[in-house]
Amino acid sequence: MTVTDGIAESANTPLETRPLGRTGADVSVVGLGTWQLGGDWGNVSEDDAAAVLDAALDAGVTLLDTADVYGDGRSEERIRQALAPRSERPFVATKAGRRADPFEAAGYTPE
């Protein structure tokens, strides 16, 4: 069994999309959370991480969720590597600042 078993059958069925909040971006209703790709839950090989991302993108997922603390940036790097050779650009939602010291919400402004 591989990480992509069962994906090929669903790849021909487009995923439903809807607007993401006030961004105006239409994204797939199924997204991919990528905490596991950071390796915080155990080692995930480069090949397995690439296979998961490729399978999701090939299946029509257009919303990827990540954060700077997922493997200390490893998840974000793996997403970058997966997207580099592709023409499509999914919506990548990331969180930042969790490692700020001291963590003070007032320090984060639109500027």
Across all residues in the chain, what is the average pLDDT?
86
List phi, psi (to 5°) of 90. -70, 165
pLDDT tier at 103, thresholds 50, 70, 90: low
In Å, what is the CA distance from 67 to each residue of 24, 42, 55, 74, 78? Answer: 22, 17, 20, 9, 12
In terms of pLDDT, which residue wins out, 69 or 56? 56
Residue 7 has pLDDT above 70, yes or no: no
- Catalytic residue list: 70
